[in-house]
Amino acid sequence: MCRNLHSRGSIKKAGKSMKIELPVFLVQEEDMFKRALQSYRDILILCIAASVIGVIVGMLDAGFGEVLLWITGQRERHPFLFIPFLPLAGALMIGAYQKAGKNCLKGMGLVFQVRFREEREIPLRLIPFTIVSTWATHLFGGSAGREGVAVQIGATVAHGIGSRLRVANASEILLVAGMAAGFAGLFQTPIAAVFFALEVLVAGVLDYEALLTALTASVIAAKVSHFMGLEKFSVPLDLSIHLTLAFCVKLLVVGLAFGITGGIFARSLKKLKEVTGGLLQNPIHKIAVMGAAVGLFSLLIHAGRYSGLGTNLIQSCFGGGAVYPYDWIVKLVFTIVTLAAGFQGGEVTPLFSIGASLGLVLGDFLNLPAAFIAALGYAGVFSGATNTFIAPVFIGAEVFGFQYLPYFFVVCAIAHVVSGSQSIYPAQRKHRLEL
């Protein structure tokens, strides 16, 4: 009986080594204490690494963002000087990727594959390739975003650091933290950035193991990019909302509209990539032909109004500028064609502009505060197109005010469900409960 209740140990007495037996519960408690210490040590190491990632990514985001703003200004002032060269820029871009880019052309797809251990590394060359190619897309009039670049920058830096740490799952945990840092450094919405990184990889599952490191990296990246001069877009709304049955019904309607629009965007982007990939199998020919079409119609329709990020439309929505009823759908089409052609950038900022433009139209039509519905559209279409829920809610709250968080919650919930689990990220995995 005694041998079952004790563990072996030793003690030296009178020049002899004598075996003693320690209670099992003491040995177990000692092991638990050691494991706890190891766990806290690992967390500390990961948080320190996340801090370094936040600083580096925040600086890179700031530099990338400032140059992008300058480029946008140049194109807006001289659209006929730059936009005609969009197909040539695209062809040169693809040629450079084919010659020296390894598998960098996969972009966000590569980030997903590394997280799921389908690929082993994200090459450092991804950073200059994605930055320069995105600058070229925007300079010559493609309709694209910027968050894809920022997230890829963050993931690349984080993966490089994480792969060198002797901590369990360090590479995977810090990859998520890097994605959060990239998003936060560019948009300066650290809470939304954390949840975007946690939920975008596997829809329906939050990667809580990376929560603390993602929060650390995102907050630091946002502060660093702001310190370096990159401005945050925010529109504090001053509205008094009265909840009535009619208002709630209208809120349901706009949520449905935003979800359907986001789903259409994601589904159309996927389908167009498949169709054009079959018709134009040479990627250089594909981007040149489709780039020529985008460039021509960009000049013909309001001389570049739908080129670039779409921030001009967002500013018009909330600044009292001219907004046409068809702005949202024209921007949607231009963005889908640009990205399907193979131009680098992102989808999120155009989604913001599509949602805001659509929201303004719906607000006027439904006799609701137009700026308020535009704000809901800003987040709702993003939710519908990315198959995420929590991140869009906090995007809305961090940009427009936390007092409106319940409304963003309701609209994004509706949009998320209505979109039918469509996503602009083909590599995103989807979790399903088995009942």
Please indicate, yes or no, whether residues 300 and 425 belong to a single structural domain of this protein. yes
Please name the helix (run of DSSP H) or strand (run of DSSP E) that holds residue 299, with its range, or none: helix 283-300
Please indicate, yes or no, whether residues 315 and 367 belong to a single structural domain of this protein. yes
pLDDT for position 12: 47
Choose the final residue of a domain: 199, 227, 255: 227
Tell whether 3 is covered by a domain: no
Query: CA dist 178 to 116, 215, 243, 397, Å?
Result: 15, 10, 40, 22
Q: Is 269 helix (H, G, I), strand (E, B) or coil?
A: helix
Tell whether 5 is covered by a domain: no
Q: Which residues, in sequence order, are CB contacts of 372 under 8 Å at separation 6+?
A: 237, 239, 241, 363, 404, 407
| Residue matched to tokens 């909302």 | 241
What's the pTM? 0.90
Please indicate, yes or no, whether residues 218 and 257 belong to a single structural domain of this protein. no
Please indicate, yes or no, whether residues 376 and 331 belong to a single structural domain of this protein. yes
Tell whether 14 is covered by a domain: no
Please indicate, yes or no, whether residues 309 and 167 belong to a single structural domain of this protein. no
Return contacts of 360-364, CB within 8 angstroms, 24+ apart. Answer: 360/317, 360/323, 361/323, 361/325, 361/328, 362/253, 362/254, 362/257, 363/254
> Any idea of the CA torsion for 342, 344, 348, 350, to the nearest 10 degrees?
-80
Which domain does 51 fall in, by range?
40-227
Tell whether 343 is covered by a domain: yes
Beta-carbon-side half-sphere exposure of residue 59 (alpha carbons within 13 Å): 6
Tell whether 435 is covered by a domain: no
Please indicate, yes or no, whether residues 165 and 253 belong to a single structural domain of this protein. no
Q: What does the alpha-carbon distance between residue 212 and residue 202 come to, in Å, rounded to a whole number?
A: 18
Tell whether 328 is covered by a domain: yes
Please indicate, yes or no, whether residues 222 and 272 belong to a single structural domain of this protein. no
Q: What does the alpha-carbon distance between residue 317 and residue 31 come to, in Å, rounded to a whole number?
A: 60
Six-digit token string for 333:
């089409």
Tell whether 114 is covered by a domain: yes
pLDDT for position 182: 96
Q: What does the alpha-carbon distance between residue 209 and residue 169 come to, in Å, rounded to a whole number?
A: 10
Choose the final residue of a domain: 165, 193, 227: 227
- Chain-centroid distance of CA 13 in Å reads 66
Please indicate, yes or no, whether residues 112 and 209 belong to a single structural domain of this protein. yes
Beta-carbon-side half-sphere exposure of residue 31 (alpha carbons within 13 Å): 7
Q: What does the alpha-carbon distance between residue 348 and residue 233 come to, in Å, rounded to a whole number?
A: 14
Helices 245-279 & 405-418, crossing angle to 10 degrees? 50
Number of domains in the chain: 2
Q: What does the alpha-carbon distance between residue 307 and residue 301 come to, in Å, rounded to a whole number?
A: 10
Q: Which residues, in sequence order, are CB contacts of 343 under 8 Å at separation 6+?
A: 90, 93, 133, 137, 142, 144, 287, 291
Q: Which residues, in sequence order, are CB contacts of 298 under 8 Å at separation 6+?
A: 79, 83, 86, 141, 143, 304, 306, 307, 334
Phi-psi region of 324 (alpha: psi -120 to 50; beta: other; left: phi over 0): beta
User: How many other CB atoms sit within 10 Å of the CB of residue 100?
Assistant: 10
Six-digit token string for 296:
């021509």
Domain holding 101: CATH number?
1.10.3080.10
Nearest Cα to Cα of residue 126 among 277, 344, 337, 427: 344
Please indicate, yes or no, whether residues 186 and 106 belong to a single structural domain of this protein. yes
Ranges of residues in the chain with a pLDDT under 50 are 1-15, 434-435
Residue 11 dihedral angles phi and psi, to the nearest 5° = -145, 145
Tell whether 27 is covered by a domain: no
Please indicate, yes or no, whether residues 141 and 254 belong to a single structural domain of this protein. no
Please indicate, yes or no, whether residues 181 and 261 belong to a single structural domain of this protein. no
The total number of residues written for the chain in this structure: 435
Phi-psi region of 346 (alpha: psi -120 to 50; beta: other; left: phi over 0): beta
Residues paired with 18 in a beta bridge:
11
Please indicate, yes or no, whether residues 198 and 277 belong to a single structural domain of this protein. no
Nearest Cα to Cα of residue 147 among 122, 183, 179: 183
Sign of CA dihedral 272, 274, 275, 278: positive
Q: What does the alpha-carbon distance between residue 145 and residue 191 come to, in Å, rounded to a whole number?
A: 20
Q: What is the DSSP letter of 346?
A: -
Choose the final residue of a domain: 173, 197, 227: 227
pLDDT for position 414: 96
Residue 8 dihedral angles phi and psi, to the nearest 5° = -75, 145
Q: Taking the chain, what is the end-to-end CA distance rounded to the nearest angstrom?
A: 46
Q: What is the DSSP letter of 410?
A: H
